[in-house]
């Protein structure tokens, strides 16, 4: 049986997660503190880590970086609503996925399965990072994106939309989840706002290459970034 390490200081949430993963046939190991979790991970035999961002002793992002220094173990972040802006950053520093609180145990279990399957299928199944100067490049420090070595002149919202989609090429993001991530949950923005940003983003790609349509529309569902850009 595979072991899922749950690093979460709120015991009610940790309980929910542990029950959820055990119901799916995994063994759950719980740690309330980040450094304790790191030690447990170093001891070996963990297939996946569910990592809370807000821990009492260390920030989840820093812990993820520390994990990445010695391990490729899949990491799923747990984020609170007000930390949503950090999601994109989280994925950039090597997390494999994230789940926003409050979440359903079913949703988390589905994410765990997907991430473990991807890990099992090997790195070839993961999206390859874009080569610099070729294909799509995203610099989250400078808030700049490039395609084929040319700079895309994006607004902040367009940049964040592109970063979100590029975190998982091929994955379909609903308009609702895009809105939640870009403008916060319960924002008064309309679905059309997302459509308008997608439209302007497409136009900016076309300025570089007329035949380029990097964003796929899934009717009634949402948008995805084309794989292999
Ligand atoms: Ca917490």
The predicted-structure confidence for 165-205, as pLDDT tens digits, reads as follows 998 889 899 888 888 777 766 655 566 778 888 988 999 99
Distance in Å, CA 193 to ligand 1 centroid: 32
Q: How many angstroms does the Cα of residue 86 sit away from the middle of ligand 1?
A: 15
Distance 53 CA to ligand 1 centre (A): 7
Of 69, 64, 36, which is closest to residue 50 (Cα–Cα)? 64
CA of 45 to the centre of ligand 1 (A): 24
Please tell me the distance between residue 52's alpha carbon and the centre of ligand 1 in angstroms.
6
Give the pLDDT band of residue 131 (cuts 50, 70, 90): very low
Say how many Å lie between the CA of residue 79 and the centre of ligand 1. Answer: 9
Look at residue 122 in the predicted model and tell me its pLDDT: 58
For residue 9, report the distance from its CA to the centre of ligand 1, in Å: 5
Q: Which residues does residue 152 pair with via DSSP β-bridges, in sequence order?
A: 145
- What is the pTM for the complete model shown? 0.55
Residue 130: its pLDDT value, please?
A: 43
Edge-to-edge order in the sheet of strand 222-225: 173-174, 222-225, 215-218
| pLDDT given at position 143 | 80
State the architecture of 136-225 in CATH terms.
Orthogonal Bundle (1.10)
- Band (pLDDT 50/70/90 cuts) for residue 126 is very low
CATH 3.40.50.2300 given to domain 3-121: yes
For the purposes of burial, counting CB atoms within 10 Å of the CB of 219, is it exposed (0-12), middle (13-18) or buried (19 or more)?
exposed
Closest alpha carbon to 101 in 194, 180, 32: 180
Strand 27-31 with 3-7, pairing: parallel
In the predicted structure, residue 147 carries a pLDDT above the cut 80: yes
How far is it, in rounded angstroms, from Cα 2 to Cα 50? 13
Work out the pLDDT band at 148, boundaries 50, 70, 90.
Answer: confident
Q: For the chain, what are the domain ranges? A: 3-121, 136-225
pLDDT digits (tens, 9 = 90+) for 3-60: 999 999 999 999 999 999 999 999 999 999 999 999 999 998 899 999 998 899 998 8
Cα(41) to centroid(ligand 1), Å = 19
**What are residue 43's phi and psi, to 5 degrees?**
-65, -15
Residue 16 Cα to ligand 1 middle (Å): 14
pLDDT at 124 over 90: no
Are 87 and 99 spatial neighbours (Cβ–Cβ below 8 Å)? no
pLDDT, position 127: 44
């Amino acid at each position: 049986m595979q072991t899922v390490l749950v690093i979460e200081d709120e015991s009610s949430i940790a309980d929910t997660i542990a029950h959820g993963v055990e119901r799916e046939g995994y063994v759950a190991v719980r740690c309330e503190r980040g450094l304790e979790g790191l030690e447990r991970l170093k001891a070996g035999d963990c297939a996946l880590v569910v990592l809370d961002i807000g821990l009492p002793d260390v920030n989840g992002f820093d812990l993820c970086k520390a994990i990445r220094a010695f391990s490729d173990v899949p990491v799923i972040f747990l984020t609170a609503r007000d930390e949503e802006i950090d999601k994109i950053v989280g994925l950039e520093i090597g997390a494999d996925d994230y789940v926003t609180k409050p979440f359903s145990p079913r949703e988390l279990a589905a994410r765990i399965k997907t991430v473990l399957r991807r890990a099992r299928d090997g790195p070839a199944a993961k999206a390859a990072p874009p080569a610099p100067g070729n294909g799509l490049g995203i610099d989250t420090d400078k808030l700049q994106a490039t395609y084929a070595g040319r700079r895309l002149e994006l607004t902040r919202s367009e940049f964040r939309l592109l970063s979100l989609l590029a975190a998982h090429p091929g994955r379909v993001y609903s308009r609702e989840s895009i809105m939640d991530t870009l403008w916060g949950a319960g924002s008064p923005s309309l679905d059309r706002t997302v459509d308008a940003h997608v439209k302007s983003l497409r136009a900016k790609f076309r300025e570089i290459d007329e035949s380029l349509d990097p964003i796929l529309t899934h009717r009634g569902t949402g948008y995805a970034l084309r794989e292999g850009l």
